Structure 1
Amino acid sequence: MSARHSGPAPAAPGRRPRPSRRLVRIVTLVATCLAVLVAAVVVGVRTLGREPSVTLLANWTGDDERRFRKAVIEPFEREYHIRVEYQGSSAENQVLGADVEAGTPPDVVVLTGPGELAEYARQKNLVALEDLIPPGAFGASWATPLADGHVYWFPLKADLKSIVWYPAGVGAQQRAEAAKRPAQWCVGMGSGATSGWPGTDWIEDILLQQSGPRVYTQWARGDLSWRSQPVRRAWTTWRELIGAGGERALVRRALMTPYGEASRPITTVPRGCTLEHQASFIRQKTRWERADGRYEPSARRIPGATGNAAWEVSGDLVALLHATPEAERLIRHLASADAQRAWSVAEAGFSVNAEAQPAPGSAGPAWHRSLAGILIDDHAVHCFDASDAMPPSVRDAFAEATIEFLAHPGHLEDLLRSLDTLNGTPGLTWVPSVCDRVP
C-alpha cells in the first residue's frame, strides 16, 4: 500500500497544472534579478582580477628595453600594482605621429626632441606637468616652460655632447695632430630614417664653441639666418675638420657607416682613426670600452673656439598625453630620484636631478663621475641639442643637408637658402629657450 499523499490532489490523466499569472510574474522577476546579479558578479570578478594599466612608448628595444624594464618599470609595477604596457620602437616619432593621428596615442611617451613635443603641446595633445614633478628638480634647458607658461616635459636621462673621445695612451700632442687630419676622425652618418644627425651634432657644437650660447640660442629658436656669418662659418669649419668633398674613400666611409660603427677602426692594427666627436653614450660601445676610451672638451679640437664653458647636451624627455591616475603615478615615478638613479646606473647614462646623483666617494669609473659632474655644474652653460629643439620639418631638413654637404660642399649656399626658406614657413612651433642661462 502506498504512502498517503498529503499535498494537492493530482490532476486528471493527460492534463498538466496551469500556473497562475501571479506565479509566472514572480518567477520571471526572480529569474531576471538572478541574471543581473550573475552578470554583476562576473564583471566584478573580472575587474578585481585585472590590474589597472598605463601605456608607455619609448625608443628602447632589445637589451636596452630589458634593462629599462628591470630598472624602472618592474619596481613601479610591484609598488603600485599598475601594469605598464610598454612599446619600444626605434621609429617612435613616426609611431607616435600615426597613433595621434588615429586618436590612439599612448598615455606616456619618451622622446628626444623638445621641438616635436612643443608642436604636440601647441596642438593640445600634451598635459602640463608642473604639478607632477618636483619643483626645481630640472633646469630650464631640460624642462622648458613654453609660451603659455606650462612645462610639458622633463628628462629621464641626459647625455653630454660637446666632447671628443680618444683611446687611452694617446697624448695631447698626438690628439692635436690627429684633429688636423680628416682621416683620423671616426665619422658615421648612418641612422636609418634619421641619418645625418651626427652631422647636425657637429655643426651645432662648432657654432656653440665658436659663437657662444647667445648666438646659438638665436639660431635654435629660428631668429638667426642660416646664411649668417656664424652659422656659415660652423659649416665650413666642419668641412675642414672631416674633409667634406675631399678624398672619395673617406667621404664614402662617413656616408655609409652607421653612427654606432664609426669607432670600429679604433681597435684595428694599425688604428684606422683616433678621435670621435660623439655624445657620452658612445663610451659604452664595445670598441671604446676595449680602447679604454677617454674624453676631452670638444672646444680643444674646434678651430676658433672661445672657451665659453658651454656644453651641448641631449636627453630622453618624458611627456604625458592622457592624465589618468595611473599615468600621473607613472610620471611621478619617472621624475623621482630613485627611478632616475636606477636608470642612470643601468644604462650608464646620467640624471640631471640633483637628488639622483651618486653619493660622494661611490664606486664607478672616473670618466663617468666627471661627466655627471659637468651636467649638474651650476657654473657651466648647458644648451640643448639645437636640431632636436627645432620644428621636426626643419630638424629633418637639417640632417639631410649635412649628408648632401658632406658629399658636395659646393652646394652649401643652396642648402642654407633652402633652410632659411623652411624656417620662414608659417605655423612652425619654436622652443623659446635651449640654454639654461645665456651669459
Structure 2
Amino acid sequence: MNAPASSPAAAPGPRRRLSRRTARTVTVVASCLAVLAAAAVVGVRTLGQEPTVTLLANWTDRDARYFRETVIGPFERKYHVHVDYQGSSAESQVLSADVEAGTPPDVVVLTGPGELAAYAAQKKLEPLENLVRQGDFGESWATPLKGHVYWFPLKADLKSIVWYPGRLTEEQQRKKAALRPDQWCLGMGSGATSGWPGTDWIEDILLQQYGPQTYERWARGALPWRSKEVKDAWTTWRDMVGAGGPRDLVLRALRTEYQKASEPAAAHPPQCTLEHQASFVRTYPRWNDLRGSYEPSSRLIPRATARNAWEVSGDLVALLHDTPQARKLIRHLASAGAQRAWNAKESGFSVDATAQPATDSTAPWHRSLARTLLATDAVHCFDASDAMPPAVRDAFAQATIDFLADPHSLDGLLKNLDRLRTDENLTWLPSVCDPGS
C-alpha cells in the first residue's frame, strides 16, 4: 500500500507546551487511532476490498525468503494484490487436508505431476491453457491431460548428476571412488517425505541402463516392478551404496537428513567424496565450500548405455480456485521475469528459453546445467516417483528405506509395488519424457 500523502504544513506560530494530562490524552487518542487503523486494514481484507490470493508451496526458510523477495514482492507492488503465502515441507498433507475441508488455496506449487493429475481427475484443478503461453514449456513439464494443461514449472532442477569436491580432479579417481560404497554421501531423511533420495537413485540407474523408453513405460505404470530392468536398477544401487552392508555405513545413510549428506565430505580426512543429488544441492554451504563440480551420472553408473538422457524435476504451479487475482498470479509466475528471478538467485532453473539470466550473472556450473536443461538434442525425463500416483510414490520411497536396511526384502517390496500399480482407480500420466531431437 502507498503511504498517505502528507497534509500541508500549518503556518508557523507560537508553541505551547502541553500539560502532562493533555499529553497523556493525546497519547491515548493516538494509540486508539493506531488500533482502529490496523482493524480497518484487517476489515478491508476481510471484506475483500483489498484483493488477496492464497498460495501454498514447499519453500521454507531461505528459499521462502528468496521467493518472497524475487517473485512475490514484484507481483504485489505491480498489481496491488496481497499474496497470503504458506510454506510447508509437508505441503502434500496440508493440501489434502485443505481440499477435504473445502478450503483449498487459490494457487499451489507442487513437485509431483502425479499428485496434480489425481486432483485434475477429481476436477479440483482449473485449466491453464488460456493463461500460459503455449510452447514455453515442453510436454514433460506441462503434460496435457484430456486436452487441457493443468500445471507448468516455475523452477526446474537436473537430477542425473554426481557432485564431487573440486580437489577430486582426475576422472579416474572419481570412477574408483564410485566403486566404493563408503565414498557415497547419502542421506535418506526428509521428514514426511523420507526416502526420496533413494528413489532418485533407482530412477536414474534405470534411465541410464535401459534408456528413456523403458523408463517411460515404468513411470507410466506399464512396466512391472518385478521386471528384470527394474530389479537390475535396485540391485545396482545396492552394490553401489552398500545396502545391507557395514552397519555404520547403512545407519549413517538412514539417520542423515538429505541436506546434511555432504557434511562428511568436508571432514579431515573426508568420509565420503561423491553425492548423487539434484542441481539444487550445489547452493548448500558444504558444496559451496568444497567448490563442488559435477559429473553426468551416466559416467559412474555401471552398465550405463543411455546417451544424453537426463532425469529432471520441477516445482509445478496449478490453479485450484479461479479468481481474477489468482489468474494474475498465474500469469506472473509463468512470465519470463518471474522465471528469471529464480535463475538469478542460482536456487533453480527455468526451462523457458526466454527467461535465462545474463550469461555473466551466474556461476559457470549454473550456466552449464542450464544449457543441459534446455538442450534440444537431449532427452529429459521427469522424476518418475513424482510422476507416479501418490500411493505408489509414497510406497516407493518407504521401500528404498526398507531395502537399504535389508536388501533380502526386495522381492516382497517389489510385489507390493506391483499390487499397487494395478489399482484401476489410479491416474497415470500419459508421458514423462521429452523426445529430444
Matching residue of 2:94 = 95
Superposed, 1:316-355 pairs within 5 Å as: 316-355=315-354
Secondary structure at the aligned position of 1:246 is classed as coil
Matching residue of 2:230 = 231
Which whole-Å deviations, capped at 9, do the CAs of 1:336-363 have from their partners, x for residues lacking one? 000000122235210001110123x423
Matching residue of 1:391 = 389
Shift of 1:58: 0.5
Distance 1:222 1:438, change over 3 A: farther
- Preserved contact between residue 107 and residue 320 of structure 1 (Cα < 8 Å): yes
Which whole-Å deviations, capped at 9, do the CAs of 1:386-429 have from their partners, x for residues lacking one? 00000000000000000110011011111111100111112000
Aligned: 1:417 with 2:415: yes
- Preserved contact between residue 64 and residue 347 of structure 1 (Cα < 8 Å): no
- For 1:120 and 1:255, locate their aligned partners in 2 and report how far apart those are by CA, in whole Å: 32
Larger Rg: 1
- Preserved contact between residue 52 and residue 82 of structure 1 (Cα < 8 Å): yes
Aligned: 1:187 with 2:186: yes
Shift of 1:64: 1.6
Aligned: 1:407 with 2:394: no
- Preserved contact between residue 201 and residue 237 of structure 2 (Cα < 8 Å): yes
- For 1:207 and 1:366, locate their aligned partners in 2 and report how far apart those are by CA, in whole Å: 29
Which whole-Å deviations, capped at 9, do the CAs of 1:12-50 have from their partners, x for residues lacking one? xxxxxxxxxxxxxxxxxxxxxxxxxxxxxx9xx958994
Compare 150-159 and 340-349 and name the one that shifted more: 340-349
Matching residue of 1:268 = 267
Matching residue of 1:65 = 64
Shift of 1:63: 2.0
Return the letter of the residue paired with 1:417: K
The count of aligned residue pairs is: 395
- Preserved contact between residue 377 and residue 436 of structure 2 (Cα < 8 Å): no
Matching residue of 2:6 = none
Shift of 1:169: 2.2
Using structure 2 for the length normalisation, give the TM-score.
0.88
Secondary structure at the aligned position of 1:323 is classed as coil
Matching residue of 2:377 = 379
Secondary structure at the aligned position of 2:157 is classed as strand
- Preserved contact between residue 67 and residue 347 of structure 1 (Cα < 8 Å): no
Shift of 1:438: 7.0
Which whole-Å deviations, capped at 9, do the CAs of 1:260-297 have from their partners, x for residues lacking one? 11000111110110000000000011110010000010
- Preserved contact between residue 195 and residue 399 of structure 1 (Cα < 8 Å): yes
Return the letter of the residue paired with 2:248: A
Aligned: 1:219 with 2:181: no
Matching residue of 1:358 = 357
Secondary structure at the aligned position of 1:140 is classed as coil
- Preserved contact between residue 344 and residue 361 of structure 2 (Cα < 8 Å): no
Aligned: 1:139 with 2:130: no
Superposed, 1:196-215 pairs within 5 Å as: 196-215=195-214
Matching residue of 2:312 = 313
Distance 1:289 1:119, change over 3 A: same
Q: Which consecutive unaligned segments of at least 5 residues does structure 2 have?
A: 1-39
- For 1:397 and 1:183, locate their aligned partners in 2 and report how far apart those are by CA, in whole Å: 27
Return the letter of the residue paired with 2:259: G
Superposed, 1:119-134 pairs within 5 Å as: 119-134=118-133
- For 1:225 and 1:308, locate their aligned partners in 2 and report how far apart those are by CA, in whole Å: 24
Secondary structure at the aligned position of 1:109 is classed as strand
Task: Please report the RMSD computed on the Cα atoms of aligned residues, expressed in angstroms.
Answer: 1.6
- For 2:237 and 2:218, locate their aligned partners in 1 and report how far apart those are by CA, in whole Å: 17
Shift of 1:242: 0.4
Q: Which consecutive unaligned segments of at least 5 residues does structure 1 have?
A: 1-41
Matching residue of 1:172 = 171
- For 1:46 and 1:391, locate their aligned partners in 2 and report how far apart those are by CA, in whole Å: 41
- Preserved contact between residue 298 and residue 306 of structure 2 (Cα < 8 Å): yes
Return the letter of the residue paired with 1:105: P
Matching residue of 1:436 = 434
Shift of 1:96: 0.3
Secondary structure at the aligned position of 1:299 is classed as helix
Return the letter of the residue paired with 1:401: A
Of all paired residues, the percent bearing the same amino acid is 68
Distance 1:324 1:270, change over 3 A: same
Return the letter of the residue paired with 1:374: T
Which whole-Å deviations, capped at 9, do the CAs of 1:232-265 have from their partners, x for residues lacking one? 0000000000010111110111111111110001
- Preserved contact between residue 214 and residue 438 of structure 1 (Cα < 8 Å): no
Superposed, 1:12-31 pairs within 5 Å as: none
